[in-house]
A and B are shown apart, each in its own frame.
Chain A
């Protein structure tokens, strides 16, 4: 990102996640509901999101990134851990709230979903969709509600003359603008963006990414940006966290993570990003074998079954996520000792600009 000053020690946290765990029951169960196993989709994840930043959360499908996003908002009930939201001078323990209070806090924490085709109710007009949070929370009604819906829709680049139409009349990009307007109409402090552009064409992706950035500046928003497209994440995020099998393996400012990764899994991800230049072929680091079954993760470091550097200690002991350099966290026994390559730091593209 352009002004990517990594949050220094002095930056104020907006959201603090500690030892978050989410479990899903799996396997066959008896009528009593007993038996079967537990899938630890998220297992001991801790991170902080600082005010005004965009924190990226990346990982392959099944790594648990969407589950983290939902558990942070308590759209999914975490099995353990805490989530704290800092509003003004108040620290709100999100995980400890009863349902009534949680509803109040949701005004400050919103979500944008991946698929704008299924996240908008087809039988409601766009105006009703965007206005619904206002109505449900009793924030505004009547002409005031209408006014607020028009304002936010306009800010999100939606043609306000079309507010009375239904979602089916719009393209993916326009629908995503509606979804963004709905998320922002209550003026939240924190927004979880779950794959907000991956269902869209590249030209429309750019529209929506630019819009999200613009709105972040206007409203002082803080984003948790979940995505699997690493090039998009690099562009959208100040810092990035990498997940593997339900745990964080590395967290760092974007450029550090992409160009000087410290975890072998991050290296493998970075090496596989297509660079978009026919003269710079990529050489992906091949991971050994298949991703292990998340309901039966390997002992020790979860990545050891696929890591080309794995030693005995990696099987015996799980490395903690520790700060290796300022702001650069990594969970690897050999952090700093390995010769890892970053995403190709190629010279500026030679494509003529208009």
Chain B
């Protein structure tokens, strides 16, 4: 296996009082080292659940019931099926932080307000590498410097509230990078930031990716950012990947009506004259999933007796460009 990550036929079920339903169904994708995969979709489409499952950080009610998450360690070449690991065992704990790291949307709530930034990043460094407290501090300052925090040696001793939003997000990236992960999962890392800061963070992530040859899974609902950062894109809807392909396939050759709708709903600077095309309706709830294609109640290309009856098959458009829609099968 050359890829760093291969997710196949992943299914995640939710057990609740109302019964058991699937949250993620038949999700498959691959990611090569040094590449960026974007998971895109509206809230409630299962992007974050998919990402959390790679670290086995799912809440108790959610369980992986099918499929595999193969991770290949770049150092040893060893392949692990993360889906089979015990969620609280030592094997997954070794992967977390060391090989796979995650950054979150809200940098304010991801740091404890009670400890200095240096303390919190140093703790991670000490946990994963055999270094003294003093060395951990030096490594931390070096990391903060690397992510562009001015006067990093003084910044080590500051508390999170003394950092601005952009600085905090940089500190979080520094924390995630502290153990030189092979795979970085970034869950909406720029959504809470201003546009100028967003651009800086995106650029920073790209630079660091080049330097460390990291693979990145970038979760976002902002297609503008996707166009900038992604090599490959998975469009998710109601727990399924409805289209997937190279970034140019998605932006220039989109096939699935949902992908096209998302692209048309995005305000673009070149086309201020055009009406935005809204997608009517909402993402269905877990307990009232439509039959057949899950997008059919909102779909402009809906075909009666087909879309509402059968789940469409995966169709290959070209190369790695795949779509799940009755228009093409």
Contacts and interface: CB of A to CB of B under 8 A. Distances in A.
B164 A290 contact: yes
Contacts of A31: none
A120 to B, nearest CB: 17
Given A202-B222, A273-B195, A281 B275 contact: no
B1 interface: no
Interface residues of A, number: 59
Interface stretch (B110-118, B120-128, B196-204, B208-216): B196-204
Interface string A185-205: 000000000000000011111
B254 A351 contact: yes
A286 B269 CA distance: 21
A279 B194 CA distance: 23
A147 B138 CA distance: 69
B268 A349 contact: yes
Interface in A210-252: 210, 228-232, 234-235
B150 to A, nearest CB: 7
B85 interface: no
Contacts of B76: none
Interface string B230-261: 10000000000000000110011110010011
B164 A254 contact: no
Contacts of B279: 203-204, 206-207
B259 to A, nearest CB: 10
Chain B interface residue count: which class?
35 or more
Interface in A303-354: 343-354
Contacts of A278: 227-228, 230, 247-248, 251
A277 B219 CA distance: 18
A234 B271 CA distance: 10
B196 A269 contact: yes
B187 to A, nearest CB: 16
B280 A289 contact: no
Contacts of B139: none
Contacts of A60: 194-197
B76 to A, nearest CB: 34
B268 A272 contact: no
B225 interface: yes
Interface string A18-52: 00000000000000000000000000000000000
A269 B221 contact: no
A221 to B, nearest CB: 18
A343 B167 CA distance: 25
Contacts of B197: 60
A287 B194 CA distance: 13
Contacts of B194: 60-61, 228
A100 to B, nearest CB: 40
Contacts of A171: 282
A255 interface: yes
B276 interface: yes
B270 interface: yes
Contact of B223 (A202, A268, A347, A354): A202
A228 to B, nearest CB: 6
Interface string A256-280: 0010000000001101111111111
Contact of B260 (A230, A234, A351): A351
B269 A205 contact: no
B252 A350 contact: yes
A284 interface: yes
A1 interface: yes
Nearest to A197: B267
A123 interface: no
12 contacts: A201-B43, A202-B221, A202-B222, A202-B262, A206-B278, A232-B267, A272-B195, A274-B228, A276-B268, A277-B251, A343-B269, A344-B269
Interface of B: 42-43, 150, 164-165, 167, 194-200, 203, 221-225, 227-228, 230, 247-248, 251-254, 257, 260-273, 275-280, 282, 300-301
Given A229-B195, A272-B195, A290-B150, 5 more contacts: A276-B224, A277-B251, A281-B228, A351-B251, A351-B254
